[in-house]
A and B are shown apart, each in its own frame.
Chain A
Amino acid sequence: MNFLAPAFLIGAAAVSAAVVVLHFIVTREPKTAPLPTARFAPDLPVRAQSRAIHLQDLLLLLLRVLLILAVGAALAQPVLRPPRRDVARIVLVDRSRAVADPAEVVDSARSLLGDGDALVLFDESASVVREAIEDSLASLGSAREVGRLSSALIAGLRAASSMRDAADSLEMVVVSPLVSEELDAATDSVRALWPGALRLIPVTARRDSSIEHATSIVGAADDPLRFALHSGSNVLAHDTVRVVRGSLSVADSVWVRGGQGRVLVYWPAGGIEGVDTPTLPPAWAPRSAADTVGAVIADDAVVVAPFVRYAELREPADSSSANQDLTTRVVARWVDGRPAATEEVYDRSCFRTVTVPVPARGDLVLRPRFAEFAAKLLRPCGGATPLTASTEARLAALAGTDEDRLVPRSEIAPPSRVPQPLVPWLYGAALAFAAGAMVVRRRASAATVTPESGGDA
């Protein structure tokens, strides 16, 4: 057993010695009671009994010494050192939306993890698992959150600090598809804090990280929106984004529910001067009187133009009666904050309604801002950016050289504050000693008095 701050223990020992010395030197002040006629009592000096040492006194002294030593030992931070292994692993396991099959990740992690290793589960945030690792792996499922390798690396570094005394060398392993969205600007600087190489175990990424997004438009051949989207195609065989400019059909509904990540965008061609108000989904209602709005915003894309606002989102009559498997969110707003486009998310796909009229006249659809705005409305479900694989160079920089894959424990910074399991027990023992001392002191409250010359007391 070692102590992180042995000075406290030495100090406690010194205080204990002083308490013992004082206990035998200092005479106790006896308890007094008022008596107006005290002057008639024999004029004898009052002093405490010091010749005989009672058992209760010794018990009280013992409890006090133990109390001081327990507090001193707790402050000294005793460390129980477990037997040191050759290698300890910190396995960073991806649980973000980039993972195609969580079972593959779990299998890879199981093959790496052993007793005493640390598991770091990460998506947007990371959590370190040191106990019941198998349970955590078993409960791993598909997620919608974006993965952040930076947060996982930070958690892994902390776990490494706490494990530096458990093994001679440490290894950090990353089990992840390592798509580009998981590597951010902070990844390289955080990665540089790990002195060794990272062992990368790639797993299969989700399908939309490898396929090209294909957008089709169901509408007139001279639809101005085609110019904005730079797409002249009608329905494609393998499209993932379908923009419907006319009326929705059963085929559209079947299509959107028939594939992973499909986006059906209902962007009716109406709403402009000379055209009737188009048919709207149940969540939307035509405005009693159309008005003009000066701008529309989707994410960070802003288009400033006089738009005719012909529809408005209905207020939910009863939120509890809403369809449980749908989640509606606003993806574009007018400049006054009112919704201009919404998205309803299904389990595997989503349906968007855009009530921004596309004028047939003018050059609005040719402006880059409008193209950017339109592209925002055709993004994958949930507003996420498309998954793309990281470049080989980026992954190589992330992994580092193979020679120094194992990191000696001496190169790992010790933790600034390590919770020691013995400390709470020592504080508990100190409290118990304090309570015991109070009980003993209360019982021994009646001090014995011996007159100096009384002799017979």
Chain B
Amino acid sequence: MQQLTSGALLDAVRGVHWPARRVSLGGFQGAHRSRRIGSSPEFTAYRPYQQGDDPSKIDWKLFGRTERVAVRLAEDESNLPTTVLVDASASMAFPVDSMAKWELASAVALGLCAVAQAGMDPVGLAVVDAHGARALPPRTRQGTVSNILRLLLETTPAGSSPLAPALSALRSSRRIAIVSDFLGDADALLEQVRELVVGGREIYAVHIVAREEVDPTLATPVIVDPEDNALRRPLDTNLLGQYQAAFARWRESLAAQWRAAGAVYHSATSDEPAERVIRRVASPLAVGDTSA
């Protein structure tokens, strides 16, 4: 948590922009392109008048020249309410001594919030831990990032609460970033994401993977799932190869499923600097990666 409280992370991501991946449909004044029928001087095109359009928006000069009844389309700039959903289940408290997964997830969540607010977007945070979901709705006012930091510092990863119900409650946000290891209700979450993408939301998936999950230390002969103590498996050098292959297949499958659902998928390992992950997520060119 030193990384969060020192301010070094926020300094590192200052100047990073997180543009919308598609033209926004509207909203308050912001930094993202928005397609509205409006009075903006940024004219883009004419569209034939349709029933229901405001007659006052008809371009009468065009009518006078061409006798075509058309309305003027102008491109405006609007904001993009953004919420970061952070998974604080017991599996994120790994490794037990360093909690590197939770450290990285917190840093990425805070950094994305700071970047979004710098772009004049309302930002909020939702944390799902053993007590369920706790959310800060998107706000633009000063101090929002501080409140987000406080909520992250107060959170201790525990339990195995599902993320999907918390995600469905974030429909007011136009852009949602999910920071998780996706070891919980992955299928229900993906189903929810599909609906949100169809509804015009931008969904980002940041998959947090611990280095020790990729290369287990094999200190003990039996491993146990911290979210399900009944799940106990033997793991030794002879079984390590099978484990790593299965884990890699699952990650590839997960990335493919999320991309197919229309989300932007990024994977980050616990030994990766948080600012690099944030820049990768915010980059308008990237379409997601599977780098580990």
Contacts and interface: CB of A to CB of B under 8 A. Distances in A.
Contacts of A36: 90-92, 94, 101, 181, 183, 210, 213, 225-227
B220 interface: yes
B220 A451 contact: no
Interface string A29-40: 011111111111
Given A42-B233, A44-B233, A46-B232, A35 B183 contact: no
A42 B216 contact: no
Contacts of A37: 183, 213, 243, 247
Nearest to B216: A35
Nearest to A29: B222
A345 interface: no
A47 B210 CA distance: 28
Given A36-B181, A41-B242, A42-B239, A454 B224 contact: no
A41 B224 contact: no
A456 interface: yes
A33 B221 CA distance: 8
A272 interface: no
A446 B221 contact: yes
Contacts of B225: 34-36, 38-39
Contacts of A448: 221
Contact of B220 (A30, A39, A456): A30
A46 B220 CA distance: 12
Interface of A is mostly: loop
Nearest to B95: A34
B239 A41 contact: yes
A38 B231 contact: yes
A46 to B, nearest CB: 5
A41 B235 contact: yes
A451 B232 CA distance: 12
Contact of B96 (A34, A46, A446): A34
B165 interface: no
Nearest to A455: B238
Given A33-B223, A38-B225, A42-B242, A454 B234 contact: yes
Nearest to A456: B238
B179 to A, nearest CB: 15
A41 B233 contact: yes
Given A33-B220, A34-B223, A39 B238 contact: no
Interface in B177-231: 181, 183, 210, 212-213, 216, 219-227, 231
Contact of A457 (B213, B232, B238): B238
B238 A32 contact: no
A394 to B, nearest CB: 85
A32 B220 contact: yes
A396 interface: no
Q: Of B90, B92, B183, which is in contact with the most chain A CB atoms at under 10 Å from its CB?
A: B183
Interface of B is mostly: mixed
A42 B224 contact: no
Interface in A398-457: 446-449, 451, 454, 456-457
Interface in A32-64: 32-44, 46
B224 A35 contact: yes
Nearest to B96: A34
A35 B232 CA distance: 10
Q: Of A31, A38, A44, A46, which is in contact with the most chain B CB atoms at under 10 Å from its CB?
A: A38
B285 interface: no
Contacts of A451: 234, 239
Interface in B78-101: 90-92, 94, 96, 101
Contact of B226 (A34, A41, A449, A454): A34
Contacts of A449: 221-222, 234, 236
B233 A43 contact: yes
A35 B183 CA distance: 11
Contacts of A31: 220-222
A46 B238 CA distance: 15
A449 to B, nearest CB: 4
B246 interface: yes
B239 A32 contact: no
A38 B221 CA distance: 12
Interface string B57-96: 0000000000000000000000000000000001110101
A131 B238 CA distance: 70
Q: Of B96, B223, B247, which is in contact with the most chain A CB atoms at under 10 Å from its CB?
A: B223
B184 to A, nearest CB: 10
A457 B236 contact: yes
B243 A42 contact: yes
Contacts of B242: 41-42
B250 interface: yes
Nearest to B219: A33
A42 B242 CA distance: 7
A39 B225 CA distance: 7
Contacts of B210: 36
A190 B247 CA distance: 89
Q: Of B101, B181, B226, which is in contact with the most chain A CB atoms at under 10 Å from its CB?
A: B226
Nearest to B235: A41
B288 to A, nearest CB: 21
B213 A33 contact: no
Contacts of A456: 238
Contact of A38 (B90, B223, B250): B223
Given A46-B233, A456-B238, A457-B238, A34 B243 contact: no
B232 A38 contact: yes
A39 B224 CA distance: 9
Given A38-B225, A38-B231, 7 more contacts: A35-B235, A37-B183, A38-B224, A41-B223, A42-B234, A42-B243, A454-B234
**Nearest 3 pairs of A and B residues by beta carbon:** A36-B91, A449-B221, A41-B233
17 contacts: A32-B220, A32-B223, A33-B222, A35-B223, A35-B224, A35-B225, A36-B92, A36-B181, A37-B247, A40-B243, A40-B246, A41-B239, A447-B221, A448-B221, A449-B221, A449-B236, A454-B234
Interface of A: 30-44, 46, 446-449, 451, 454, 456-457
